[in-house]
Amino acid sequence: MGRLKGHSQRITGFVSASAIGYYGFTDRSVQSEGNGEKGMGSGADLCGNWEKAADWF
């Protein structure tokens, strides 16, 4: 992030997508932003970290 701020260019838009794997893998329930919690495992961890990094923009 520091390297980006050091340049004279400005970011005018940013699109990020990371939902796959966030809720873990289950075949018995429907998960959504309103009722689900972050799952366990590398996919869920990656999604959580990706979304935290995207918030910087």
Q: Give the model confidence (pLDDT) of 29-54 as tens digits.
A: 666 666 667 778 888 888 889 888 88
Number of domains the chain contains: 1
pTM: 0.57
- pLDDT of 6 reads 77
Q: Does 45 reside within a domain?
A: yes
Mean pLDDT throughout 3-25?
75
Which structural domain, as residue segments, surrounds residue 42?
Answer: 18-25+37-57
Mean of per-residue pLDDT scores for the chain: 76
User: Closest by alpha carbon to 23, among 12, 14, 33?
Assistant: 33
The answer as to whether 30 is a domain residue is no
Asked whether 18 and 47 are in contact (CB, 8 A), the reply is yes
Can you say whether the dihedral through the CA atoms of 43, 47, 50, 52 is positive or negative? negative
Per-residue pLDDT at 32? 64
What confidence score (pLDDT) does residue 17 get?
A: 79
**pLDDT value of residue 54:** 85
